[in-house]
Chains A and B, each alone.
Chain A
Amino acid sequence: MWCSLNRKGTNTTSTNGGYEYGFYGGDRGLDYQESANQIPTNDSYFTYIEYATSSTPTAYPLSIRIYKAQSPQDTNFAVIQFTQTINNAIIPFGSFTIHKGSNFGANIWDLNNVWNGGMTFYSSSGRTVSLIHQVPGYHYSSSTTQAEPSTNYSLTREANYGYLRETNNSWNYTFPVSNYSANIDTDNDNTNILTYYRNSTYDRYQSADTAVSYTNRDKSVSSSANYYKPIKGIPISNNLMPCPYYIPDDFIMLQVATSPGLTQFRPGDTITVSPSEIYEIILAGYQTSQNGLDNVSGNNSIGMLFCARTT
């Protein structure tokens, strides 16, 4: 709850106004963090969103993109993303979702008892797109939103505290991360979510052995087993049980391995599966000039695409 009674609010002339803007109210240790319930004037030890390049951030056009689910899907869900156009390339920066609405946590928590202060941050690295589940706030040593047992810095009544309660002092332990990585000619990590893929062209064994007894020297899995599809119904986090929310069906993950090897996947690029199934890339984790299944050196760009359906 944001309290602005008897505060100057936006009328303040101070750039370091602190409580002049207002403050988060409620009960200390349950609803707000002591001395950290105001608008911070620096990002040290606070959650922040990097929304532009750190090098000459004002030199490039800035855009704010919003990908919002449409009715009958949950219209409370949206992905908000900052991009900059740098040398004609659309570069993504802060991408996030603010958890909102009664569908979130339905049948797990009751918003009469707890409040939802969670966010999901989307990031990419290598061939991976990650969903990072987090409750933003102040964090320093054991003074975190998720401190367990509760302290004057914990947000015990925040709904996600039920999942993220953490007795370790490290702030990093309070981030469940779901890693969606490409699974086509990729060295898998056992923490990644693996997507089903079959391609009879490459799911094939050719033996150089010419012995007569080996009559089946070139065999492949039936092409009827081929499988390559976008996947919807993405859990808001693959690390929470029971799952509090599923991202609406218009948001999908699609792994990709394609030539030419220098293909760059940018926000706003389109994926046309059919005239009635078209997606727009929100965020891509990919690597260019890769040696793919065709085994042609540098011929592939391989990665994972987080997309929104537009048609």
Chain B
Amino acid sequence: MPDIVLSDLQPTSAATAVDNSIAFLQTTATPFITPTISSVARASSNTSFSSNYNINNLDSPVTGSRSSTPGILTGRRPTFGQLFPRGYFNR
């Protein structure tokens, strides 16, 4: 078995861990930037943003059986909302 020569493992020169001429530099001489951010404009704007609605986003209908008998408001005059009833009720 050959002898282990420690000098074989010694670094021949020091390497630079972090290059200060490259790493983590400021981009501007302006001390304190006041940027305009489009994200803020979008959040603050009163302009509506239209969207193509995805039909798949609709919730599924309620499952289960439905009653075949009319609801309790059938044939009655509405108590609010409509000025005139639709149809002739209680005539």
1/0 per residue A156-183: CB within 8 Å of B?
Answer: 0000000000000000000000000000
CB contacts (< 8 Å) of B37 on chain A: these are 256, 258, 263, 265, 269-272
| Contact, CB under 8 Å: A231 / B26 | yes
List residues of chain A with CB within 8 A of the CB of B31. 224, 226-229
Rounded to whole angstroms, the CA-CA distance of A108 and B56 in the bound complex is: 53
Of the residues A108, A235, A269, A273, contact of B33 by C-beta under 8 Å: A273
B60 interface hit (Cβ, 8 Å): no
How far does the Cβ of B64 sit from chain A's closest Cβ, in whole Å?
A: 25
What string of 1s and 0s marks CB contacts (under 8 Å) between B21-40 and chain A? 01111111011110111111
A209 on interface, CB distance cutoff 8 Å:
no
Q: Which of A239-288 contact B (CB under 8 A)?
A: 241-243, 246, 249, 252, 254, 256, 258-260, 262-266, 269-274, 277, 281
**B39 pairs with A228, CB closer than 8 A:** no
**Separation of A258 and B18 alpha carbons in the complex (Å):** 32
Contact A229 B15 (CB under 8 A): no
- Is there a chain B Cβ closer than 8 Å to A15's Cβ? no
* With A59-B54, A262-B43: A252-B27 Cβ-Cβ less than 8 Å: yes
Inter-chain CA distance A189–B70, complex, in Å, is 63
Classify the interface of chain A: helix, strand, loop or mixed.
loop
B28 surroundings in chain A (CB, below 8 A): 229-230, 273-274, 277
Interfacial chain B residues near A301, Cβ < 8 Å:
39, 43
Q: Is A233 an interface residue (CB 8 A)?
A: yes
- Alpha-carbon separation in the docked complex, A309 to B49 (Å): 26
Is A60 among interface residues, defined by CB-CB distance under 8 A?
yes
Does residue A232 face the partner (Cβ distance < 8 Å to B)?
Answer: yes
* Interface residues of B, dominant DSSP: loop
Q: Knowing A229-B27, A230-B33 are in contact, say whether A269-B56 is a contact too (CB < 8 A).
A: no
Q: Is B57 an interface residue (CB 8 A)?
A: yes
Known interface pairs A233-B23, A270-B38; A260-B43 also in contact (CB < 8 Å): yes
Residues A56 and B40 in contact in the complex (CB < 8 Å), given A229-B30, A252-B27: no
A296 interface residue, CB < 8 Å from B? no
**Which residue of chain A lies nearest to B54 when distances are taken between CB atoms in the complex?**
A59
Could you tell me if A231 and B24 are in contact, using CB atoms closer than 8 angstroms? yes
Nearest B residue to A276 by beta-carbon distance?
Answer: B28
Q: How many whole Å from A58's CB to the nearest CB in chain B?
A: 10
B8 interface contact, C-beta 8 A: no
Chain B contacts for A256, CB-based, 8 A: 37
Ranked nearest first, the 9 interchain pairs of A and B with the lowest CB-CB distance are A88-B51, A226-B32, A272-B36, A263-B43, A229-B26, A269-B39, A241-B17, A233-B25, A270-B38
- Chain B: residues with CB nearer than 8 A to chain A? 15-19, 22-28, 30-33, 35-40, 42-44, 49-51, 54, 56-57
List 13 additional contacts besides A87-B54, A271-B36; criterion CB under 8 Å: A56-B56, A226-B31, A226-B32, A228-B31, A228-B32, A231-B25, A232-B25, A241-B17, A246-B22, A259-B40, A266-B39, A270-B36, A272-B38
20 contacts between A and B (CB under 8 A): A59-B56, A88-B49, A88-B51, A227-B32, A228-B32, A229-B31, A230-B28, A233-B25, A235-B23, A241-B17, A246-B23, A249-B25, A260-B44, A265-B39, A269-B38, A272-B36, A273-B27, A273-B35, A274-B28, A301-B39
